[in-house]
Amino acid sequence: MNAETKKRKIGILTFHRARSYGAVLQCYALCQILRKIFPDAETGVIDFSPSRFSASKDCGKQKQAEVLLKFLLSNVNVVTPESDTLNECLSAGVTDILVGSDQVWNPGILKENLRDYFLCDIPENINKYSYAASFGSAEFVLPSEVDRVIRSALADFKNISVREGSAVGLCEKFGRSDAIRVLDPTLHAGRSEFDHIADTGTLTAPVVGYFLSPTPLQIKVLKKIAHDKRLKSSSILVLNRKAPFFSFIKSSVNTGVPDFLHAIKNAGYVVTDSFHGVCFAILFEKEFVVLPSRRKERFTRIAELLEILGLSARVMHTAQANDVRNILNNPIDFNEVRQKLSLLRDFSGDFLKNLRSSENDGN
């Protein structure tokens, strides 16, 4: 590299300050992946922090956000100053932006920040890409103006990859027939990026539940699993949730990332309605059960992941004893899952490696 060549600075634009284990851990994972693929570039997260994604009036929620952010900022490189204005962040010399992963293209979440996450108003000399971006839903009806904004924005992206197969179809509707489907960064990075973090945690239980939307069905299934395995109710742990349904079961609040990962890694059984809850059960090769969320769009992305890995049978819709027993008596063939993940990782890695071709593009 001669003195006049500008060093590449690749920034990830995502919801890294969200109060969500999945949001934080997928950001961490993508940072690790980029660091390995682009050793000669500066890679890391763009510290864009619009208030709606980085703060909460609820003190408990704010505490959780602080716990997660502390972990992230201690474990990833930050390539820009913090700002609630995207172009102020980019003034730090970012040459390439990778939008993703997570629901960074969900119009219902983005609202007034839609133009930011679709990179509508950034300098023209910055290369635009996406990795495992999600629209959060398989289909939706948008106001014509929003449709035009997204269609125009995606036309300016050099390469597009999305997390769900349904998102490939949405990109095609918006005029990008070249979008491809890749793995969520947590599954792409692999277990080795999380084992050492999990091993610093201490939280553990034989049966672990992790839920984004608590329902009475969840407690019934947890108890039936414990009963079937001749465990006491005290053997059940619900992560980061206190609700009336869980009042007689051990639960944790403001759980740190190491404890979150440790609990899943050392569980005998995991029950969840969370996409990333499923991801980590798969990574740590745990027997798991998925209870579909009442929100259809939340389950759609889980269903698509389970389908490509041959795990659709892990979904349970009732707490009937026979249903629970049928799943528990049919253990997952993780040798087969590993083989499928290996192929998907290679494909996902090739997408990112192909971005190297832009390194010498004239900006």
For residue 141, the domain's CATH number is: 3.40.50.11720
Q: Work out the pLDDT band at 358, boundaries 50, 70, 90.
A: low
Q: Work out the pLDDT band at 295, boundaries 50, 70, 90.
A: confident
Q: Is residue 363 in a domain?
A: no
Which pLDDT score is estimated for 359? 56
Q: Is the domain of 110 the same as that of 241?
A: no
Q: Is residue 338 in a domain?
A: no
At residue 202's C-alpha, the angle toward residues 196 and 206, to 5°, is 105
Residue 179 pLDDT greater than 90, yes or no:
yes
78-88 average pLDDT score: 95
Give me the domain span that covers residue 170. 9-189+343-358
Which pLDDT score is estimated for 362? 44
DSSP H or E run through 11? strand 9-13
Percentage of the chain exceeding pLDDT 70: 91
Residue 363 pLDDT greater than 50, yes or no:
no
Q: Is the domain of 131 the same as that of 232?
A: no
CA–CA distances in Å: residue 179 to residues 23, 47, 155, 176, 344: 22, 26, 11, 6, 16
Residue 210 pLDDT greater than 70, yes or no:
yes
Q: Is the domain of 205 the same as that of 127?
A: no
Q: Is the domain of 115 the same as that of 23?
A: yes
338-349 average pLDDT score: 97
Q: Is the domain of 36 the same as that of 157?
A: yes
- Which of 30-39, 172-181, 241-250, 267-276 bottoms out in mean pLDDT, i.e. has the lowest? 241-250
Minimal CA–CA distance to 101: which of 47, 142, 168, 162? 162
100-128 average pLDDT score: 94
**Residue 4's CB: how many other CB atoms inside 10 A?**
5
Put the strands of the sheet holding 9-13 in their side by side order.
42-45, 9-13, 96-99, 127-130
289-300 average pLDDT score: 83
For residue 276, the domain's CATH number is: 3.40.50.2000
Q: Is residue 89 in a domain?
A: yes
229-247 average pLDDT score: 77
Residue 225 pLDDT greater than 70, yes or no:
yes
- Domain count across the chain: 2
Q: Work out the pLDDT band at 244, boundaries 50, 70, 90.
A: low
Residues whose CB is less than 8 angstroms from the CB of residue 321 and which lie 6 or more positions away in sequence, other chains included: 224, 228
Q: Is residue 1 in a domain?
A: no
Q: Is the domain of 204 the same as that of 56?
A: no
- Its pTM stands at 0.92
Q: Work out the pLDDT band at 265, boundaries 50, 70, 90.
A: very high
